[in-house]
Amino acid sequence: MSAQRLFIFYFSGTGNSRNVAHWLAEEAQKHSFETHLFYVAGLETIPPEVVDEQSVIAFISPVHGFNYPPVMLKFLSRFPRGKAKVLLLNTRAGMLIGKWVTPGLSGITFYFAGVLLAIKGYRIRAMFPVDMPSNWISLHPGLNAKTILFLHQKNKIRVEEFAEIVFSGKRWFKSLREMIQDVVIWPVAVLYYFVGRFILAKTYYASNSCNNCGLCIRECPVHAISEINGHPFWSFNCESCMKCMGNCPTKAIETAHGFVVGVYLIYAFVASVFFYGYFTQFIPIIQHPVLKFVLNNLIFISILLLGYRLIHILLRFKLVNKLMIYTSLTHYKWWGRRYKALKLKEENGFGGY
């Protein structure tokens, strides 16, 4: 690439994409690029020279539900038209078996973003997934320190190798080898965007270990947390980026697994009565597959929202608080190791560790 300006736009919760952004910037400096980093959450203005034909733009974001999170998708949708070269990167859920890094899944991440930017006039030059440590301890046990360090070291080398390729003028599209599996899971990505993320947003709560420091409220990148009834309260704006859980100084933020099970049992009873009981005799149209799907989700989310409100009122009672704590897998050491990406040392404005 002959361009000498690199603009990196990234979103990050626990720091994976932030680290990749800094590694890429560090390598760009070695290739004499004038490099600028921007955190997209809350970014209001975009320098006009970004879209110039001689610029290179890198978009880096975690994968949430096999797609970029809404905050990044919204940013891309309002990004101005231009002719710059574009590098698309994502950080996805990496694990470790022995010394084999199990790859995550990108889903429709690159395809949707690539088409959107191509329509705006940009030239896509690379699609590069980075299998950083998975941070979704709501869904799986947290990774240990040895695994986290190994994955950081391994992926830093991969980013350096990738940078050497694209900054020497070549393209990188090896991720397209995964197209079949990415296409297969596209319905999951769509369902997560319209339904799944709202469900996850209503699984977080603060236990009685919370000291009301307000850190989670102040540092939420999308301002999704407020204080209600003396407890942090997560709105539907939550991106499930896990920053609040990873940064809480008292580890008070938990995922309410027991609460979700209770909500599902109530939903199952209501749905069985609504769809298979008395109502079907008078409203047969509710058995239409599309309508039934929509109503099913509306019923579940309604019960979840009402239950979430009720629980936050009842958390003032010790019995309810203890019940929530002991039915939350994230409360237990064998599951709930909090995750934050390894901190970077500042070297030439960017850095290693």
- List, in order of start, the domains of the chain with CATH numbers: 5-185 (3.40.50.360), 191-331 (3.30.70.20)
DSSP H helices in the chain: 16-30, 70-78, 109-119, 145-166, 179-184, 186-191, 197-201, 215-219, 243-247, 257-276, 289-314, 318-326
Question: Which pLDDT does position 253 carry in this prediction?
Answer: 96
State pTM to two decimals: 0.91
Cβ proximity of 102 and 95 under 8 Å: yes
Question: Which pLDDT does position 352 carry in this prediction?
Answer: 42
Write the secondary structure of 263-323 as one string of H (helix), E (strand) and C (coil).
HHHHHHHHHHHHHHCHHHHCCHHHHCHHHHHHHHHHHHHHHHHHHHHHHHHHCCCHHHHHH
Cβ proximity of 69 and 106 under 8 Å: no
Residue 348 has pLDDT above 70, yes or no: no
User: Tens of pLDDT along 258-292?
Assistant: 999 999 999 999 888 776 666 666 666 666 777 77
- Range 47-51 contact pairs with CB under 8 angstroms and sequence separation of 24 or more: 47/7, 49/5, 50/7, 50/80, 50/82, 50/84, 51/80, 51/81, 51/82, 51/83, 51/84
- The larger pLDDT score, comparing residue 176 to residue 229, is at 176
User: Tens of pLDDT along 103-112?
Assistant: 889 999 999 9
- As a whole number, mean pLDDT of residues 172-194 equals 92
Q: What's the CA gap between 65 and 288, in Å, rounded?
A: 27
